C-alpha cells in the first residue's frame, strides 16, 4: 500500500495578511466573549491599538502619596480567605530570613559591642488568613534597632510584631559572630577568636523560651589512636602520631527566665572547661608544643565530648533544657564521627535535618 503524505505549502506574506483580514472581519461581528475564548496570541491581534492607553515612561520624582491614594492600593496578602491557594491550613511560621543590620549587644567583659547581625523573624498564620505583610516584621524590629539588645529588648520587638500581624505564635532569631580576646598557651600573645552565636526568642501557645546557640570549635585527639601510637613507640621503637582533627560542637541552651544573666562569655567558658583543646588564634613554637601536650592530656571520642559538655551545662542553674551536637571531622576516615545529646523536651526530635552536619564545617 502506498501512503502519500500531504505537503502543506508555507504561506507567504500575502497569505498571512489575508488571514489576518479574515480574522478581523470575523471579530467585527463577534462578541467579546468569543474573542476572549480565542488563543491569547490571536486575541491580542484583535485589540484596537487606538484604545491602548499612552502610559508615561518617566519616573515621577515629585509624586506624593497621600492617605486617600494609599487607601486605594491593593493588598493581596490581607485579602479574603477565598484567595487562599492550596489547603486551608495553619502555617506554624512564616516570615523573613537573613534580614541584616548592625545591632548593639551587652557583653560581660567589653561593654556594648555593635555587630553585624542576621535576623530571622516569623509568626504563625491562621488557616483562614491569606498571608502577612513581611515588611511589618522589619519595621517592628527597627523600632528597637538603636537599643542595646538583650532578651528583654527582643521581647519588646516580638510583642510589637505579634500585635502588628495579629498572630499568636512568633519567633525572633539573631545570628552574629562574637569576638573574644584569647591568650596563647605559652608565648604571651593574644588574638581574637570569633564565635558563631544565635539568640532565639520563641513563643508557642503563650509560653516563651529564651534560647542561646553557640558553635565551639576544638581539636579532638583520638584516644585509641594515641594508645596505638604509644604502643608502637614502646614495643618497636617506631615513631607514630595519633590522629586529631578540627571538631565542632553546636551547643543550644534554654535560658531560665528567673535566673541571672547567662552571658555569651559564660557559655563559651563552660565549653572550654568541658573541652580545653579549643583551636588557637596566635601561635609560636612554644604554643604549638603546648597544644600538642594539651591534646595528649585530653584525648576524646565524640561520645566523650557530648558528655563533657553535658556535665558543664547540667551544673549551671541558669540553664534548663539543652542540646549538644558534636562533629569530629576525621583525619583518619573519609567520614565524620557525630553525636547528639539532649536533655528536656525543648530540643527533643525524632528526625534530623538531612543537612544538619554539613552546617558544622567552619572554614577560614
Does pLDDT of 180 surpass 80? yes
Residue with cell 544565635: 198
* Across 12-21, 116-125, 229-238, least confident range: 12-21
pTM equals 0.81
* Cα→Cα distances 45→15, 23, 27, 35, 68, Å: 16, 9, 10, 10, 37
Q: Which of 266, 262, 254 is nearest to 342 (CA)?
A: 254
Q: What is the pLDDT of residues 5-43, one digit of tens each?
A: 555 567 888 888 888 888 888 877 877 777 767 766 666
H helices present in the chain, as ranges: 13-29, 32-36, 40-45, 67-72, 135-142, 151-165, 223-236, 264-274, 285-297, 302-314
Does pLDDT of 233 surpass 60? yes
Residues 279, 245: contact at Cβ < 8 Å?
no
Average pLDDT, the chain: 88
Phi, psi of 84 (to 5 degrees): -65, 135
Residues whose CB is less than 8 angstroms from the CB of residue 355 and which lie 6 or more positions away in sequence, other chains included: none
Find the mean pLDDT for residues 327-347.
95
The more confident residue out of 319 and 17 is: 319
Q: What is the pLDDT of residues 103-119, one digit of tens each?
A: 889 899 988 999 999 99
Residues 199, 150: contact at Cβ < 8 Å?
no
* Cα→Cα distances 243→137, 181, 215, Å: 48, 28, 22
Residues whose CB is less than 8 angstroms from the CB of residue 247 and which lie 6 or more positions away in sequence, other chains included: 217, 218, 219, 220, 302, 305, 326, 327, 328, 329
Q: Do the strands 148-149 and 207-221 form a parallel or antiparallel pair, or are they unpaired?
A: unpaired
Does pLDDT of 173 surpass 80? yes
Does pLDDT of 55 surpass 90? no
Q: Which of 133, 135, 143, 211 is nearest to 172 (CA)?
A: 211
* DSSP for 212-270, written as a single string: EEEEEEEEEE-HHHHHHHHHHHHHH-------EEEEEEEEEEEE-TTSPP--HHHHHHH
pLDDT of residue 88: 87
**How big is the chain by its Cα radius of gyration, in Å?**
32
Find the mean pLDDT for residues 308-314.
98
Amino acid at each position: 500500500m502506498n501512503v502519500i503524505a500531504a505537503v502543506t505549502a508555507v504561506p507567504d506574506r500575502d497569505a498571512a495578511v489575508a488571514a489576518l483580514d479574515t480574522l478581523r472581519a470575523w471579530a467585527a461581528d463577534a462578541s467579546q466573549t468569543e474573542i476572549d475564548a480565542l488563543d491569547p496570541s490571536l486575541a491580542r491581534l484583535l485589540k484596537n491599538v487606538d484604545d491602548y492607553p499612552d502610559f508615561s515612561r518617566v519616573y515621577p520624582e515629585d509624586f506624593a502619596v497621600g492617605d486617600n491614594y494609599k487607601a486605594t492600593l491593593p493588598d493581596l496578602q490581607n485579602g479574603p480567605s477565598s484567595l487562599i491557594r492550596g489547603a486551608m491550613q495553619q502555617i506554624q511560621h512564616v516570615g523573613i530570613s537573613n534580614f541584616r543590620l548592625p545591632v548593639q549587644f551587652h557583653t560581660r567583659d567589653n561593654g556594648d559591642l555593635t555587630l553585624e547581625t542576621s535576623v530571622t523573624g516569623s509568626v504563625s498564620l491562621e488557616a483562614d488568613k491569606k498571608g502577612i505583610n513581611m515588611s511589618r516584621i522589619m519595621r517592628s524590629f527597627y523600632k528597637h534597632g538603636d537599643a542595646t539588645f538583650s532578651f528583654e529588648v527582643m521581647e519588646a520587638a516580638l510583642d510589637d510584631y505579634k500585635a502588628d500581624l495579629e498572630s499568636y505564635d512568633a519567633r525572633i532569631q539573631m545570628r552574629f559572630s562574637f569576638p573574644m580576646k584569647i591568650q596563647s598557651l605559652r608565648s604571651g600573645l593574644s588574638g581574637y577568636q570569633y564565635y558563631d552565636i544565635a539568640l532565639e526568642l520563641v513563643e508557642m501557645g503563650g509560653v516563651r523560651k529564651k534560647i542561646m546557640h553557640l558553635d565551639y570549635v576544638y581539636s579532638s585527639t583520638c584516644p585509641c589512636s594515641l594508645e596505638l601510637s604509644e604502643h608502637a613507640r614502646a614495643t618497636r621503637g617506631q615513631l607514630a602520631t595519633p590522629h586529631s582533627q578540627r571538631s565542632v560542637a553546636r551547643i543550644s541552651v534554654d535560658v531560665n527566665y528567673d535566673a541571672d544573666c547567662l552571658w555569651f562569655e559564660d557559655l563559651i567558658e563552660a565549653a572550654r572547661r568541658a573541652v580545653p583543646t579549643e583551636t588557637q588564634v596566635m601561635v609560636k613554637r612554644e604554643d604549638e608544643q603546648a597544644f600538642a601536650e594539651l591534646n595528649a592530656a585530653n584525648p576524646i571520642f565524640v561520645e566523650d565530648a557530648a558528655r563533657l559538655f553535658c556535665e558543664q551545662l547540667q551544673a549551671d542553674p541558669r540553664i534548663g533544657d539543652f542540646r549538644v551536637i558534636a562533629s569530629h571531622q576525621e583525619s583518619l576516615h573519609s567520614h565524620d564521627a557525630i553525636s547528639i545529646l539532649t536533655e528536656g523536651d525543648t530540643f527533643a526530635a525524632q528526625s534530623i535535618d538531612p543537612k544538619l552536619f554539613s552546617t558544622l564545617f567552619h572554614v577560614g
